[in-house]
A and B are shown apart, each in its own frame.
Chain A
Amino acid sequence: AQSVSQHNHHVILSEAASLELGCNYSYGGTVNLFWYVQYPGQHLQLLLKYFSGDPLVKGIKGFEAEFIKSKFSFNLRKPSVQWSDTAEYFCAVTRKSGGGADGLTFGKGTHLIIQP
């Protein structure tokens, strides 16, 4: 079975700071990788995803993530955060062999607080 580890449970940054949230996964086969975000009072929504091809993927709101296969990592980055990025961020994986409809395996989430 696959598992996901997110390194930081709480991160506090000032506006305009750079962000990197760590995510490592454990699985013997190939995976699809995702970052989801939950803004206060809102639903979980997809931030970005990686299936294949260019390991650097760009998502909504200026976020990007890089898949490093040798490190089993999929870290989320943003060069300059805004107060509106305050949210909880979740890394998730599915088995590639499961097709496109497997249930997601999530990490524990990272609470990101941006101070004005």
Chain B
Amino acid sequence: EAGVTQFPSHSVIEKGQTVTLRCDPISGHDNLYWYRRVMGKEIKFLLHFVKESKQDESGMPNNRFLAERTGGTYSTLKVQPAELEDSGVYFCASSQIGTGYYEQYFGPGTRLTVT
């Protein structure tokens, strides 16, 4: 079974440009999460989808970030326009839905560099 995949693995863009990150969760996982790690800092929660609905987007930094999950499968995270402080590694994770805790499986991350 394929794990969580993310594309691209690296992206280098200039300040003011737009970048779209993609996450494909494990098949059948209805929970999808986005996290970000800025260099030297902790991994921070951005938002949580349950199927196609945003369950919690309390961690989104500002309105330059837009996450979508049309059809409840893959998700995209768009940064527009990108700023220098957006540089970091963006992780996606997915888990099953149901009662109790279901382990979050992480993707390899997308390293975003804004110059």
Return B33 CB to nearest CB of chain A, in Å.
6
Task: Closest B residue to A6 by CB, please name it.
Answer: B42
Residues in A with CB closer than 8 Å to B93 are 44
Cα–Cα, bound, A6→B71 (Å): 38
Query: Are A44 and B48 also in contact (CB < 8 A) when A101-B97, A103-B33 are?
Result: no
Name the interface residues of B26-65: CB closer than 8 Å to any CB of A: 31, 33, 35, 41-48, 50, 55-56, 59
User: A104 and B41: CB pair below 8 A?
Assistant: no
Q: Find chain B residues with CB under 8 A from A99 CB.
A: 99
Residues of A within 8 A of B55 (CB): 101
* Partner-binding segment picked from A11-19, A45-53, A64-72, A79-87: A45-53
Q: How many chain B residues touch A (Cβ–Cβ < 8 Å)?
A: 33
Known contacts A43-B106, A43-B107, A44-B106; is A100 also within 8 Å of B42 by CB?
no
**Interface pair B91/A101, CB less than 8 Å apart:** no
Residue of A36, A100, A106 contacting most chain B CB atoms (<10 Å): A100
A21 within 8 A of B: no
Partner of B99, one of A36, A46, A100, A107: A100
Contacts of A43 in B (CB 8 A): 3-4, 105-109
Closest chain-B Cβ to A52's Cβ sits at a distance in Å of: 11
Contact residues in B for A46 (Cβ distance below 8 Å):
103-104
What sequence of 0s and 1s flags, for each residue 33-76 of chain A, a beta carbon within 8 Å of any chain B beta carbon? 00010000001111001010000000000000000000000000
Residues of B within 8 A of A (CB): 3-4, 31, 33, 35, 41-48, 50, 55-56, 59, 91, 93, 95, 97-109
Told that A44-B93, A103-B56, A106-B42 touch, could you supply 7 new A-B pairs with CB distance under 8 A? A36-B106, A46-B104, A100-B100, A101-B102, A102-B56, A106-B44, A107-B42
20 A-B residue contacts at CB 8 Å?
A: A4-B42, A43-B3, A43-B108, A46-B103, A49-B101, A49-B103, A100-B99, A101-B48, A101-B55, A101-B97, A101-B101, A102-B56, A103-B35, A103-B46, A103-B47, A103-B48, A104-B43, A104-B45, A106-B43, A109-B43
